[in-house]
Copies of this chain bind each other. A is one copy, B any other.
Amino acid sequence: MKISVDAMGGDFAPQEIVQGAVVAAREHRVGIILVGPEERIKAELAKHDTRGLDIEIVHTDEYLIEGEHPAYAMRKKRNASILLATKLVKEGRADAVVGVGPTGGVVASAMQVLGTVEGIGRPVVGGPFLGFTPNTVMIDLGGNVDCRPDQLLDFGIVGTVFAQKWLNIPNPTVALLSNGAEEGKGNEVIREAYTLFKNSGLNFIGYVEGYGIGNGQANVIICDGLIGNIVVKYTETLGQAICRWLEGKLVGKLSPADIKALTDELTLKTDLADAVGGGPLWAVNGVACVAHGRSHWPEVAKAIGAAKRAVEVDLVGALKRELAAIRGKVQVPTAQ
């Protein structure tokens, strides 16, 4: 198996990326293609023992910078390292691509080069975004603001495959997020989606209320991207508010180090970037994994391991099969 890696992604490129790639090549027994400025990569590789490892370099001088608008930057930098790394997957020279931020650049490259799986128009963003409910996947957290009922069903399928293949939950429960548990609740789209879900063969348990997000009432919770986006961003500032409040409450009662450890952990549990910043992109027609921009070599190696696992469990193939099977089963209204 070959994994292409953007050697220039993230805050500590290329040194941490190269070191992570070397470690992953040995630990995960995968071939690595590092994409970036050849001389700089070679200089980093020279610091490590690479004997017996399958590591090659694809040269480019261009790369994205944190803070650039990804789509705009990619129009100017047609040889950006993340773009070239992703193209290696499209061309069959690599089985998966790993990008270490900027996340927008990894997503935009995946969309432009690999596209989404058939019938899903936009990338789906989701995952176990809350540290307290690691077995609950929420979708969509991203850009799908005005959703049709059949799009919500697609999210349910994506979430089910993700929970099965990625979180190892054999028969994940799926719920629609609504304002009440009874069947008549929800807005028009949610009520129509209810019928689609009921006939889908998914392990659909009906509606969950907002409570269900905080207590992990279902393995897969479906909402439109407007609601998901609001919930996730709210979680982040609420977590910050609670951290500040805790600091005030605990000062003098716990040591500063203990307080910091506590608030650091709470921040991690309530911060989207930390929670879903890593792992495979969903509904992309190929395996593309993203890691935090602030990753050091252990996280880079882990992301490469995740990419290998996504290829091995055939995440993309499983999703395509599930989509075809379930769409055949339910009467989905024609897309507008």
Query: Which residues of A does B touch, CB under 8 Å?
Result: 130, 132-133, 143, 145-146, 177-180, 185-188, 190, 209-215, 223-227, 229-242, 245-246, 249, 253-254, 258, 262, 265-266, 269
Contact = CB atoms under 8 A, between A and B. Distances in A.
A231 B266 CA distance: 19
B187 A145 contact: yes
Contacts of A238: 130, 132, 213-214, 235, 238
7 contacts: A143-B179, A179-B225, A179-B230, A211-B234, A212-B237, A242-B266, A245-B269
A134 to B, nearest CB: 12
Nearest to A179: B229
A93 B253 CA distance: 55
Contact of A241 (B185, B209, B214): B214
A218 to B, nearest CB: 13
Contacts of A226: 178-179, 186-187, 190, 227
Tell me which of A178, A187, A210, A232 has the highest count of chain B C-beta atoms within 10 A of its own C-beta.
A210
Q: Indicate how many identical chains form the complex.
A: 2
A160 to B, nearest CB: 22
B237 A215 contact: yes
Contacts of A235: 210, 214, 238
A176 B13 CA distance: 39
A232 B179 CA distance: 10
A144 to B, nearest CB: 10
Contact of A231 (B132, B215, B234): B234
Tell me which of A229, A233, A249, A265 has the highest count of chain B C-beta atoms within 10 A of its own C-beta.
A233
Contact of A209 (B146, B212, B230, B245): B230
B187 A213 contact: no
Given A211-B233, A227-B230, A245-B269, 5 more contacts: A145-B185, A146-B188, A210-B232, A211-B237, A213-B234
Contacts of A234: 210-211, 213-214, 231
Contacts of A133: 241
B254 A241 contact: no
A242 B242 contact: yes
Contacts of A253: 254, 258
A269 to B, nearest CB: 8
Contacts of A212: 237
Contacts of A239: 214
A145 B249 contact: no
Nearest to A130: B238
Contacts of A179: 143, 145, 225-226, 229-230
Contacts of A258: 253
A143 B184 CA distance: 12
Nearest to A189: B146
